Chain A
Amino acid sequence: GAVVSQHPSWVICKSGTSVKIECRSLDFQATTMFWYRQFPKQSLMLMATSNEGSKATYEQGVEKDKFLINHASLTLSTLTVTSAHPEDSSFYICSAGGGSYEQYFGPGTRLTVT
């Protein structure tokens, strides 16, 4: 099956700094990728749709200025958490469509803000 990678797998940063998370489709191209957030023992919540070559579409309640998304190529989307605060600590997961109505998910990135 198709593979989606994320980097880094975990990151610890200090409050006020920015962190960039990468999502790559390794063996297929994806014009659209999705970013989810998962709190411990909870479900995945869709944050935004990343569109190659255009602006991302954010879900209601998600701060676009805090969570910057860039879809620079057909295989790479990045999520930058700006001016991170402890409440931004979470598990961030991306997905990309590989056809056949299936989304392939990355392994996730654990962000801890101290």
Chain B
Amino acid sequence: AQSVTQPDIHITVSEGASLELRCNYSYGATPYLFWYVQSPGQGLQLLLKYFSGDTLVQGIKGFEAEFKRSQSSFNLRKPSVHWSDAAEYFCAVDLSGNTGKLIFGQGTTLQVKP
């Protein structure tokens, strides 16, 4: 079955440290890939997206993600985490192209230690 997996439910990093959040998808073709961040009281905000082309994509707030077809992965990275990055992060895929129907991973809660 088509699915999105975020293996890490909860991650804690120190402020200033680097971050990598993992995302794997199960699908025959290359789906449209997204990373969203959810903060309490706010709607999901798009960090970045990948459809085709350069496999390393840059997003907002200093985030980047790399698509690796061979590993069916789309991991999110940030070189230096800020305390304000503490939030819930979701990887999502649109399996049918630009339908807008998204399948979300389980989410990863990021905690930032001072």
Contacts and interface: CB of A to CB of B under 8 A. Distances in A.
Contact of A4 (B43, B98, B102): B43
Contacts of B94: 101
B100 A95 contact: yes
Contact of A107 (B41, B101, B103): B41
A34 B92 CA distance: 14
Interface string B77-114: 00000000000001000100010111111110000000
Contacts of A4: 43
Query: Chain A binding site: helix, strand, loop or mixed by DSSP?
Result: strand
B43 A108 contact: yes
Interface in B45-60: 45-46, 49, 51
A46 B102 contact: yes
Given A101-B32, A101-B49, A101-B51, A46 B101 contact: yes
B104 A103 contact: no
B44 interface: yes
Contact of A34 (B32, B98, B100): B100
Nearest to B36: A105
A93 B43 contact: yes
Interface of B: 32, 36, 41-46, 49, 51, 90, 94, 98, 100-107
Interface of A: 4, 32, 34, 42-46, 49, 93, 95, 97, 101-108
